[in-house]
Chains A and B, each alone.
Chain A
Amino acid sequence: MGAERNTAAVPTAAPRSGARVVLGLLWSDKFAFVAALFLIFVVSCAVFGPLLLGGTATSMNLRLRNFPPFTLDHGWLFVLGADSLGRSMLARLMVASQNTIAVAAAAVAFAMTVGGVLGLMAGFLGGWFGNIVMRLADIIMSFPSLLIAVVVLYMFEPRVANLVLVLGITRMPIYMRTSRAEVLEIRERPFVAAARVMGASSFRVVFRHVAPTVLPTLTTIAALDFAFVMLAESALSFLGIGIQPPEITWGLMVAQGRNYLNVAWWLAFFPGLAIMLTTLSLNLLSSWLRIAADPTQRWRLEIPRGRDG
């Protein structure tokens, strides 16, 4: 009672719409705002890139082999130069974004769904099942995921589905642990006890009360994980056991460009930069989200610059 909790019905006088509040909060963190714009751009590339530029990205022009970047002599498509077969770097980057994003998104979705459900069950059932799930998480977590991926991808051929599966499995532990820990905490909350007193079944308790409370936490983790998985996928593709040519991803483009490092640095540089900027944007946005979603921190975004700190 000593702590001054804002218990009064504060938001009654809040005529501003939800979307406008969010945009306002985003605008006040310029880094996050730019990051959001960049991500929107990357996602649109991933969705429309192959449709619009699929042909351009594969059309060779031997006269433009290793054409250097930053000139508009051959049109905007060649502003980032051309590769060893004279294909437009820009077009290839935009097309490659689709595989890169799709693999990461699928792997994260897999990890979050399977890991989340396993963790949920482990937390709720406990006992030997809970123990097995936790040991499984330990095993995956305590060993370099890249090596597991290398072993597995050698065993099965490096197809996209296998890649997604392996990346997904190596990222599962964090969801297993988080959702189990959350379940253990939430099931002790009075509103769950109240539901049980009403006679609610375990099924109802899990899906009506526990799961919706765990979901936001898992989603927050997923945003960060997306960045991590993108890096892992590109590392595997770089090692030659990820996506196989003629498909392209950014990681694979770095690997291919490595052979031309002396003559055409841009072949390896730009795809790597794309990976880094996308990952950075995701990180910036999620660190903004952490502040914006925390009522005790949100004021930081709302007071005018210069008064803080």
Chain B
Amino acid sequence: MGTYLARRAVHSFVSLAGLLILVFFLARLTGDPTNLYLPLDATLEARQEFAERHGFNDPVIVQFGRFLSGLAEFDLGTSIRKHRPAADVVLEAIPVTLGLAAVTMIVALLGAIVVGSLAAYRPGRIFDRLASVISLASASAPDFWVAITAILLFAVTLGWLPTSGTGGFAIEYWIMPIGVLLIRPFGLMVQVVRGSMLTALSSAYVKTARAKGVTERAVIFVHALRNGMLPVITVASDQAAGIANGAVIVETIFGWPGVGKLMIDSILYRDFAVIQASILITAAVIFTINIVVDIAYAVLDPRIRHH
């Protein structure tokens, strides 16, 4: 078990390193940021000075070396847009996205477990068919479209909710972003819960439990659910990346200062240090989630624990 986790951690680290190298060189290929930051009529000397100051004149490989040695001291470089350490810029944005993602995930997961389990209990009945179609529709909805439709309806037409911004994170500012972000993970996970609960409920051990005289409620929530949760956990962890995708869209549309918006802006402004820092930190968060999920899996499934 310890070995298994250690191996997973090594895999994650290798993946992280690969991703970082990829992003570093890709970002450098997106073009020279000098023109973006200096006026069009800037003198050649000014341009030289700018490039010199930010180290853009050195060969890419030298820049990479500098990046790595900085990394060793937890220095992720300086944002050329905000003139502050890139790590600070990213760490300010992380809690916003994390909060958004965590609330979304919890609501989506709990909702999916309840709806999916009930649907799986009597497959083919009206509740199941409704749950299936609604969850499929929700998994099929383009989030950006849902977002602007929601703004049109709830903010513009009805005036119930604010159109955008965080408003000091007051509750009414959370409703639409989370509602939009929720919609696809929820739909997907209802499908997964329903499928895995269907398998669990038709399994041989459930038959044994029924033959013992276990009540139907205990059959679902004690015998089947813990087994049915196993695939759901895996999918939920895969959804971590999916929610980050959604966060890019939601943060852009609702003007939330999270990592998603930060990254889009940084790419637009060729703010390399911030791109690198945000990708590094986001990936680290996602890998951490994956390892936590692995541990959760092992706790729930003794077969993994003893392997």
Chain A residues with a Cβ under 8 A of chain B: 31, 135-136, 138-139, 141-147, 150-152, 154-155, 227, 231, 234-235, 238-239, 251, 254-255, 258, 261-262, 265, 268-269, 271-273, 275-276, 279-280, 282-284, 287, 300, 308-309
Which 9 A-B residue pairings sit nearest by Cβ, starting from the closest?
A272-B145, A279-B140, A144-B244, A309-B125, A308-B124, A280-B140, A146-B245, A138-B15, A283-B136
Taking a contact as CB atoms closer than 8 A, the residue among A145, A152, A275 that contacts B142 in the complex is: A275
Instruction: From known contacts A142-B287, A144-B241, A147-B279, infer whether A261 and B142 are also in contact, taking CB-CB under 8 Å.
Output: no
Q: Are the C-beta atoms of B124 and A141 separated by less than 8 Å?
A: no
Instruction: From known contacts A238-B144, A268-B145, infer whether A262 and B156 are also in contact, taking CB-CB under 8 Å.
Output: yes
**Is B210 on the interface with A (CB-CB < 8 A)?**
no
Using Cβ atoms and an 8 Å threshold, which residues of chain A touch B15? 135, 138-139, 142
Question: How many contacts A-B (CB < 8 Å)?
Answer: 145
Residues 200-211 of chain B: 1 if any A CB is under 8 Å from the residue's CB, otherwise 0? 000000000000
**Is B282 on the interface with A (CB-CB < 8 A)?**
yes
Q: Which listed segment binds A: B24-32, B54-62, B63-71, B79-87?
A: B24-32
Report how far A272 CA is from B249 CA in the complex, Å. 15
Report how far A231 CA is from B18 CA in the complex, Å. 27
Q: Are the C-beta atoms of B249 and A235 separated by less than 8 Å?
A: yes
Q: Are the C-beta atoms of A142 and B22 separated by less than 8 Å?
A: no
Q: Are the C-beta atoms of B275 and A151 separated by less than 8 Å?
A: yes
Instruction: From known contacts A135-B14, A151-B27, A155-B30, infer whether A144 and B142 are also in contact, taking CB-CB under 8 Å.
Output: no
CB distance from B233 to the nearest CB of A (A): 16
Q: Are the C-beta atoms of A145 and B245 separated by less than 8 Å?
A: yes
Residues 262-292 of chain B: 1 if any A CB is under 8 Å from the residue's CB, otherwise 0? 0110011000000100010011001100100
Q: Are the C-beta atoms of B145 and A276 separated by less than 8 Å?
A: yes
Q: Are the C-beta atoms of A276 and B137 separated by less than 8 Å?
A: yes
**Is B230 on the interface with A (CB-CB < 8 A)?**
no
Q: Are the C-beta atoms of B290 and A142 separated by less than 8 Å?
A: yes
A-B contact sample (19 more), CB < 8 A, given A138-B11, A139-B18, A261-B156: A139-B22, A144-B245, A147-B260, A151-B275, A152-B26, A155-B27, A261-B151, A269-B149, A271-B145, A272-B144, A275-B142, A276-B145, A279-B140, A279-B141, A280-B140, A283-B139, A284-B136, A287-B132, A309-B124
Using Cβ atoms and an 8 Å threshold, which residues of chain A touch B275? 151
Instruction: From known contacts A276-B140, A300-B124, infer whether A239 and B290 are also in contact, taking CB-CB under 8 Å.
Output: no
Question: Which of B145, B191, B249, B290 counts the most chain A CB atoms within 10 A?
Answer: B145
For residue A300, which residue of chain B has the nearest CB?
B124
Report how far A88 CA is from B204 CA in the complex, Å. 59
**Is B252 on the interface with A (CB-CB < 8 A)?**
yes
Using Cβ atoms and an 8 Å threshold, which residues of chain A touch B142? 231, 234-235, 238, 251, 254, 272, 275-276, 279
Report how far A283 CA is from B128 CA in the complex, Å. 16
Q: Are the C-beta atoms of A135 and B149 separated by less than 8 Å?
A: no
Using Cβ atoms and an 8 Å threshold, which residues of chain A touch B236? none
